[in-house]
């Protein structure tokens, strides 16, 4: 299959930034395939993936997450994810550089777009894009890791992973991922009988959805129709 060919190619390439990204994304895809039922992914094809050393979605996604984290430390440094995520020296500025705030001061839902300071100091635009893409990939992989471990029933480990992913989602102002992770967090809390905490997280999800809806409504109200002739603006009906 194409996936097995990609696994083989990723393992044979010389290690570089591109190699890390290729292999991490490939392993993330492997995790998605292994999460399918036997009807969607026949056992024969599943065995081909097993030959590459990945017998479960948890193994594949975890290896993918480790590669993304390693690349993040190389390109951005420590402090945005993992054991160093709560470090006090991780600071943020808005796009105009007018205000600063620590990670602990981040709230849900966010009002302004915050950018990690270390990302603003880069000179190369390509390097900046690579860092943002890496952060998006890392967040996606983190959400997938939470989902995989949640289905496996590893509640305690999953809650810790969910909190790390939620911190990153808040820093990146990824509202949809924040909502998804809060729902997963609420489910995990409910499994452990923490009904009040679960209800509180679901209330936050509702607030996020209302916030997104308000923004969408404002954008629709601001739209203007343009007549073909002379480019004149026409009032909305």
CA dihedral 30, 13, 74, 66 (to 10 degrees): 30
Q: What does the pLDDT read at residue 188? A: 92
Q: Give the model's confidence band at 111: pLDDT under 50 very low, under 70 low, under 90 confident, else very high.
A: very low
pLDDT score at 22: 86
Domain boundaries, the chain: 1-75, 79-212
- Please give the Cα distance from 44 to 22 (Å, whole number): 25
- What pLDDT score does 172 carry? 87
- Residue 142 CA to residue 101 CA, distance in Å, equals 24
Asked if pLDDT for residue 201 goes beyond 50, the answer is yes
Whether the per-residue pLDDT at 225 is higher than 70: the answer is no
Q: Judge if pTM exceeds 0.75.
A: no
- Confidence at residue 224, expressed as pLDDT on a 0 to 100 scale: 52
Q: Which residues face 29 on adjacent strands?
A: none
CA 227 to chain CA centroid, nearest Å = 41
At residue 38, does pLDDT exceed 90?
Answer: no
Contact 92, 101 (CB under 8 A): yes
Place of tokens 């390109």: 75
pLDDT given at position 52: 87
Q: Across residues 25-31, what is the average pLDDT?
A: 93
Does CATH number 1.10.1740 belong to domain 79-212?
A: no
> What's the mean per-residue pLDDT of the chain?
75
Pick the residue with more confidence: 102 or 38?
38
The pLDDT value recorded for residue 231 is 52
State what percent of residues in the chain have pLDDT above 70: 68
> Mapping DSSP to helix (H, G, I), strand (E, B) and coil, where does residue 108 land?
coil
């Amino acid at each position: 299959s194409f996936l097995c060919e990609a696994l083989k190619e990723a393992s044979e390439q010389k290690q570089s930034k591109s190699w890390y990204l290729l292999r991490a994304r490939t392993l993330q895809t492997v995790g998605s395939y292994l999460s399918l039922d036997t009807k969607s992914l026949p056992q024969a094809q599943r065995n081909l993936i097993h030959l590459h050393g990945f017998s479960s979605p948890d193994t594949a996604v975890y290896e993918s997450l480790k590669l993304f984290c390693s690349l993040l430390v190389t390109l951005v440094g420590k402090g945005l994810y993992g054991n160093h995520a709560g470090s006090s020296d991780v600071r943020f500025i808005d796009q105009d550089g007018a205000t600063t705030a620590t990670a602990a001061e981040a709230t849900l839902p966010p009002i302004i777009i915050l950018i990690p300071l270390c990302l603003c100091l880069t000179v190369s635009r390509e390097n900046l894009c690579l860092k943002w893409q890496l952060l998006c990939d890392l967040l996606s992989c983190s959400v997938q890791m939470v989902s995989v471990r949640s289905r496996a029933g590893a509640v305690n480990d999953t809650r810790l992973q969910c909190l790390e992913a939620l911190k990153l989602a808040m820093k990146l102002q990824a509202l949809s991922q924040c909502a998804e992770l809060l729902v997963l967090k609420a489910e995990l809390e409910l499994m452990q009988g923490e009904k009040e905490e679960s209800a509180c997280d679901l209330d936050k999800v509702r607030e996020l959805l209302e916030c997104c809806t308000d923004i969408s409504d404002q954008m629709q109200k601001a739209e203007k129709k343009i007549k073909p002739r002379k480019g004149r603006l026409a009032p909305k009906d």
